Amino acid sequence: MSSKDLPEEIRQALLNPTEEGEPVSDELDIGKYARLKRLKQDDSNKTPIEGETIGKKLQNLFRITISIPNPDIAYPLLAAYASVPSVLSEILPILELRGEPGSGKSECIKIFSRVTGSILNARSTAASIKNDINQIRWVDPSTFSVEKNCFYLLDNADSEFFAERDVLTALLNGYDRYTDKQSISNGKGQNIPFYVFCPKVFTTVWRISSPEVRRRLITIKFKPKQSLDQLINPDSLAINSLKKELSNYWNTPSNWELHHECQCKVKSSFPVSYPKQSWKLVSDVVVAGLCTGVWSELDEAFGFFENYFEFRKKSKEGIYEVILAETLSELSGIPMAEWELSPNSILIEVDPKDLKQRMDTYVETGLIPRIKPEQLQLDIRALGWAVAGKKGKYTYVFVKK
C-alpha cells in the first residue's frame, strides 16, 4: 500500500517531520501506520472535554482523570503549565510531580504527554537530556535555527539522577532562556553546543536535595489512597481534539501578540507580597494561564500564586526552610525581608554554633528532621549566606545577591 492511496490529511501527517521526527518514504509500512494511528486518533465517539476556554478544558481534563490532594492549587497549576508556549517564554520553572509509588504521578505525566504531544522519557542521563532537548526543540537540530514548542517529560527520576552534577547543571541552566547554552568538548579540540532551555516535568519519589534546583521548582504532591471513584478513563475522552485545539491556538499570530501584551503586563506588575525572584520564576506560567483562560484576570492569577506560595511555605515539608530562615533572622537581628534590601556595607553575621544549637532544639522537639551539617550549609547558602573566617572562627555572613 502506498501513501498515495491515503486521504490528504493522512498523507500530510506522514510527510510532517515535526510529528514523526524522521524522514519518511512513499511506502507505508506497519510501523509508520501504527505511529500514524496514534497521532490521528478518531475522537468522534469520545466524550468532549468541557470548559469555556482551553485553559478550563485542560483543568477539567486533569480534574476528571487524576486524583490529587489540594485540588484548588494542583489542577490550575497543571493546566497553566501544560498550556505554556516554550518558544515565547523566557523563564520557566521545573514542574515536579512527587509522591509515593502508586499515588498517580505516572498517570498524570501520561496525560500531560498526550495533551501536549510530548514524548515521555524513562530514566535518563545528563547526556541524554541534552541530546533529547536538542532533538525536540529545533526543526533542524544541526543548525538551531528554527525553534518549536516542546516539553521535556521524565518519569521516575531517582536519587542517582539527581546526584549527577551534569544533570543538576542542565536543570539549573535550562530554566532560563539566556543561560541555556552548554558546550561540551568532543575530545578533538572542538566544543559541541547544547541548548537546554525548555519546560521540564518529572515524576519522582525523592525530595531533590540541591537547594539551587529546589528554588527553581514548582511542586505538586501526590498521595496514595486518594478517592478514585469519580475518575474517568482517559481513553474515553477526546484528548486528541484538545491537543489539536491547543496546538492551533499557539499557531495563531494574534495569540502571539496577546502573549506579548500579557508578558509585558505581568512583568511590570509583580505584587510586593513575595520576592521578585519568586514572581519572575512563575511569570511565564502566569502569562500562559491568562492567555488560555485558566485565569480570567491578572489579579486572579496573582492571587492564585500568592496562595500557592503561602501553601508551600506552610506545608509540612516547608517547615524546615521557614524555621531556618526565621532562625537566621532572629540571630542576625535583621528580618529576612530586609536581607536583599540591605546595602553591601551592612554586614550580617551569625555564629554557626548558635545556629546549630537552635536547630538542634527544633530537631529534639520533633518539629523538623535531623539535618546533616553539609546539607545545612547548602541550605544556608541557598538563602544567600556564605561561610567566612574571622579570628580563627567561622561565621555565616549574608552575601547580597
Q: What is the pTM of this model?
A: 0.73
Q: What is the pLDDT of residue 94?
A: 93
Please give the grid coordinates belonging to residue 163: 546526584
- The DSSP symbol for 212 reads H
Residue 22 has pLDDT above 70, yes or no: no
Query: Count of CB atoms within 10 A of residue 204's CB?
Result: 19
- Asked if residue 15 lies in contact with residue 22, where contact means CB atoms within 8 angstroms, the answer is no
pLDDT tens profile 237-253: 999 999 999 999 999 99
Please give the grid coordinates belonging to residue 14: 506522514
Higher pLDDT, residue 222 or 266: 266
Detail the DSSP E strand segments found in 83-167. Answer: 94-99, 120-121, 152-157
Q: What is the pLDDT of residue 17?
A: 44
Q: What is residue 374's three-state secondary structure?
A: helix
Q: What is the pLDDT of residue 43?
A: 80
- Asked if residue 66 lies in contact with residue 231, where contact means CB atoms within 8 angstroms, the answer is yes
